[in-house]
Amino acid sequence: MDSSVLFSICLSIKVAAIATFFVILVGIGIAYLLAMKNFKGKVLLDIVCTLPLVLPPSVTGYYLIMLFGRNGLLGKQVYAWTGWSIMFSWQAAVLASFVVALPLMIRTTRAALETVDRELIKVSYTLGRSEIETFFRICLPLAKRGIYAGAVLSFARAMGEFGATIMVAGNIPGRTDTMPIAIYSCAGSGDWQKAHIMVALFTIISALFLLMANRFSRASV
Amino acid sequence: MIKKTNKLRTWSILLAALLYSNPLNAEELLISAAMSLKNIFEEIAPLYEQQVPDVTLRYNFGSSGTLEKQIEAGAPADVFASASQRFMDMLEERDDILASSRRDFAQNCMVLVVPADNPAKLAAFSNLKNKSCRNVAIGNPGSVPAGRYAAEVLQHMSLYKSIQKKLVYGEHVRQVLDYVARGEVDAGIVYGTDARIRSKEIRVISDAPPESHTRIYYPAAVVSSSRFKKKAAHFVKFICENSQVQKRLQAHGFNLIQTVP
């Protein structure tokens, strides 16, 4: 197989895996806050975290450039301190995937957490368990199924991310060309043979992954 | 009950109106043109429509490679104006354009540009090798003519291999220009005409010598599947011969093609 095809596959999996890792961490945290707590700005947090789900990826990408670009709000500071910019790096692809996949994780996890019987949580508290203990021993195990589903959806979304990624990570062969970007690039330059291979591989990988995820979540519930 | 049917009717009428609101205009020419022609072509549209009032021009700008793929796939374009001979040749080989209508109408050059504040302190092409220069934007050589010319320039100067890792590909030449203008990259290689467009945000550092790349002649031709071949041919003739167009091309920094007698 063409080494550039192999590179794109590996990069796609790497980017999606890292993005999903952070999505799970941050997503569960935010979902817990939204499901269990009442605080000022809750609605705002909910909306901001859900926006990437409904916004076109190009709009998300635009915001990311405004925030993290070399002349962006945060990107400018980072560049001034370190001389490094996230733009056109594979980390930018992780960032884009993270942002677009996060809402999926939050929404599914939040729904799962909300179905956890409040009585059980109260019982745990009255038996002297702290909130953190209760979270790990009561809430998480009971919301397991929703969390798996959220993680699978997030991974799939992160693998397929294209629009925001091409805006912040660009199309750099051998550096930032994830599968979707490499396929787009091949189709644009008439390299149909390579595009065929990658499209087929991507479909197979995605199908295998869904199959695995299905079995996994069924077996564990 | 009555209310419900009324509502249904209103919605169906609305839906029908939406579906039929875009009838195919019989006198519309679709011009698929290289991205680098965007400003000049938008400028000459009113000129042309003044001369030929029964025709409306519609533009589809993109990298010449993308446009070539679109036309090959049956896009309803009437005229193709490319930034490179290569993509026109590909269409001609398949008889997707009318070979007899094909003419060159403008010439361009390549320049090295940097953001206005020149963060990497570049002064020449050879400086691209410097450590301070982290990334260089060029068009994707596979589909963007400006990228192919840029790669040729770098190869001519024996820089291509040493800076290959710094290259960031744009999907059309204006994206390359935008990367530089926004300061996301330290340098870029674009057409001389593009560099003029955002002269406040970018600086031209060096002109690529003409012998460092294939000469950049823009060809235009009528697309074989055009429904308005006569009108399309007239448009090609217009951009090749009209003195107003030639003046504007020059004002934008294009060189004219010297016709050999």
CATH dotted code for A3-220: 1.10.3720.10
Q: Give the residue from B171, B167, B172 showing the smallest Cα distance to B194.
A: B172
Q: Give the residue from B67, B98, B109, B59 showing the smallest Cα distance to B217.
A: B109
Is residue B261's pLDDT more than 70? no
**Integer Cα distance of A159 and A44 in angstroms:** 28
A78 to chain B, any CB pair closer than 8 A? The answer is no
Instruction: Please enumerate, as own/partner, the contacts of B195-203 that have beta carbons within 8 Å and a separation of 24 or more.
Output: B195/B111, B195/B113, B196/B252, B196/B253, B197/B39, B200/B116, B201/B115, B201/B116, B202/B113, B202/B114, B202/B115, B202/B116, B202/B177, B203/B113, B203/B114, B203/B115, B203/B116, B203/B118
**pLDDT tens track for A2-44:** 788 999 999 999 999 999 999 999 999 999 999 999 999 999 9
Band (pLDDT 50/70/90 cuts) for residue A216 is: low
B12 by Cβ neighbours in 10 Å (0-12 / 13-18 / 19+) ranks as exposed
**pLDDT tens track for A153-164:** 899 999 999 999
Q: Give the residue from B175, B193, B176, B181 showing the smallest Cα distance to B83.
A: B193
**B24 vs B81 pLDDT, higher one:** B81
Contact B168 A170 (CB under 8 A): yes
Band (pLDDT 50/70/90 cuts) for residue B74 is: confident
Task: Say which residues have a Cβ less than 8 Å from residue B97's Cβ, sequence separation at least 6.
Answer: B71, B80, B88, B91, B221, B222, B223, B224
Nearest to A172 among B142, B143, B169 (CB): B169
pLDDT for position B259: 62
Task: Write down the domain spans for chain A.
Answer: 3-220
Contact A70 B65 (CB under 8 A): no
Q: Which of residues 34-73 of A touch B (CB under 8 A)?
A: 65, 69-71
**pLDDT tens track for A73-128:** 999 999 889 888 898 899 999 999 999 999 999 999 999 999 999 999 999 999 99
pLDDT for position A220: 53
Test mutation, B168, B175, B185, chain A, max A CBs within 10 A? B168
CB atoms closer than 10 angstroms to residue A131: 13
